[in-house]
Chains A and B, each alone.
Chain A
Amino acid sequence: MTLHEQPVQASTKSGMLSPLGLSGTIAVGVLISFLVVGLAAPLIAPHGYSEVISDMSFLPVGEAGLLGTDYLGRDLLSRLLYGARTTLLLALAATAIAFVFGVLGGAAAGILGGRWDMAMSRINDVFFGFPQIMLALIVVSAVGTSYTVLIVTVGFIEGTRVYRIARALAQNIMTMEFVQISIARGENMGWILWNEILPNAAVPLSTDLGLRFTYSILLLSALSFLGLGVQPPAADWGVMVRENLTGLHFGAAAALMPALAIFSVTLSVNHLVDLRLSRMQRDISEELLS
């Protein structure tokens, strides 16, 4: 096998194939449609999310509404649409918080080093030593639950994970010569963070963005499922699984549909992250081989 043949092959291949492939395109489609449908829920949902449309609970698919009714006789499809809105927006907000604080904190620790780094990282380690759900349960037992509490708590928990990655990336980049030169030139910390660290850490951080989003969805819906997150009658996928669980015992699929909706979102994101990771690996090997 000759070394110089491979990169040529690889680049023609990636040029000819669609960048995502079939499964990747499907994943992007699933995500976009859930987001659009969630945002447009008030416009396209056939009924209100708390509107009772039938005396019969757990009506099967096709009777009274497209997907049947839930345990109170409300339209399951409408609640799923509104649920997309709640679940996805909460997770997006939590991910945003996790990223802002995780990246700023981690990069600051990496740039400053020394005592600051020690102090910040040890504190972070303590929160890292907690099982995530325990931390969330403690907070909710202390301050009760609301959208703000949920977003901040989950954002904070996931932020401790982002912090670790951002710190490691910043430490690596700080050892590069171009950063050393800007330090010698007398640039301040903020300039280095904005012009050197962030642009160079952006690509590896972007895969972590996807992972944080899926973990946020899973943690938020687990809390809602336990009855400690989003409160009924609001429509949220985790809440919907919880409230329709009794229907399961006589074969109603109402609890299954929101669970499958969560699964299709998280699976799509994780698949895209995988695709991106393997592409990054290929790019790196191309770079090394050429």
Chain B
Amino acid sequence: MLWAMMMRRLLFGLLTLFAISVLVFVGTEILPGDVAQAVLGQSATAETIAALRERLGLDQPAPLRYLAWIAGVLQGDLGVSLASDRPIAAMISSRLGNTFMLAGIAALIVVPLSLILGLLAATRPRSLIDRAVSHLTLMSVSAPEFLIATLLVMLFAVHLNWLPAISNISSADDIGALARSIALPVLTLSLMVLAPMTRMTRNSVLSVLGSPAIETAILKGLSRRRIVLFHALPNAIAPIVNIIAMNLAYLVSGVVVVEVVFSFPGLAKLMVDAVGTRDLPLVQACALIFCSVYVLMNIFADVISVLANPKLRRSA
């Protein structure tokens, strides 16, 4: 029963991924005119356009090109970059690791911190911390990513001169230098998601705390700590996991601006540069990776919330 449900979610996720791959492909196909013309621009001669058309296989019908592309992707062959003529898989591999490191470290900081702060706010409604969380959330959903980044650079890189404003991780030869060079990007990403995550944790714990089960636990005379940790928290896991997954998926888009601000050599910076030079195969590959991570994160959240909630498990 549970397995059938999980398989169904997984299948739906795979379908979404398929639809996204089609969309990524079609998105870069429906140009007014021709890809070759658009990429080469006004100065292109008839021969260079013809050569590029042949290289891109534009003489083939679109569905065939899609199949060839997706077959290659599944075998790890992402094609060749138009701008640099290098295989895309090689260009991406090192960048991908950097981006995952950035988002991963931010997640490691934010997830436990937001859980602790959210619990504190939920157990002390209308306290100083509760009101602070509520105001900070309003501010952080309103703030553009580059505002947080510029303020941090102003403070830590310019005035205090503690940390570099440009994240040059390739010249970092030991762990200390690496930590210094990624400190500001990680801090920016963390600040972007900390307040909303804390707020949503607080709300889901609060709604559980109002339930009859908790009332019973209070009437039984259990200690406050026991009620929160062993009775309220397990019931709040499903919504909290969803919040975490949603925000980690949000990191995917946050990372785009952050990598550009700090010139961080990650996948998102590569993609933005590729959009600028209209290197379509490279854009397609990067978009596919980002969207897949996003979809997988959402499937993961679905599965966890089913596992954590006996009621959902049975009804599914």
A contacts, CB < 8 Å to B: 125-127, 129-135, 137-144, 214, 218, 221-222, 225-228, 238, 241, 245, 248-251, 253, 255-256, 259-260, 262-263, 266-267, 269-271, 274
Contacts and interface: CB of A to CB of B under 8 A. Distances in A.
B31 A142 contact: yes
A221 B252 CA distance: 17
A129 B257 contact: no
Given A126-B19, A225-B260, A228-B275, 5 more contacts: A127-B23, A241-B146, A248-B153, A256-B151, A267-B142
Nearest to A130: B291
Contacts of B27: 135, 138-139, 142
B253 to A, nearest CB: 4
Interface residues of B, number: 51
B16 A129 contact: yes
Contacts of A263: 142-144, 147
A142 B28 contact: yes
Q: Is the interface of B mostly helix, strand, loop or mixed?
A: helix
A248 B154 contact: yes
B200 interface: no
A168 to B, nearest CB: 18
A222 B257 contact: yes
B157 interface: yes
Question: Among A139, A141, A143, which residue has the most Cβ atoms of chain B within 10 A?
Answer: A141
B256 to A, nearest CB: 5
B165 A249 contact: yes
A132 B24 contact: no
24 contacts: A126-B16, A133-B253, A134-B287, A137-B271, A137-B272, A137-B287, A138-B283, A140-B275, A141-B28, A141-B274, A141-B283, A226-B260, A241-B146, A249-B153, A249-B157, A251-B154, A256-B147, A256-B151, A259-B146, A259-B150, A262-B147, A266-B142, A267-B139, A267-B142
B150 to A, nearest CB: 5
Nearest to A248: B153
B2 interface: no
B107 to A, nearest CB: 16
The 4 closest A-B pairs by CB, nearest first: A259-B147, A266-B142, A267-B142, A138-B27
A120 to B, nearest CB: 14
A289 B159 CA distance: 56
Given A222-B256, A222-B257, A267-B139, A130 B150 contact: no
A225 B261 CA distance: 9
A178 B252 CA distance: 45
Given A267-B138, A267-B139, A129 B294 contact: yes
A222 B159 CA distance: 26
B256 A133 contact: yes
B39 to A, nearest CB: 10
Contacts of B151: 256
B219 interface: no
B249 interface: yes
Given A134-B291, A142-B280, A222-B256, A125 B16 contact: yes
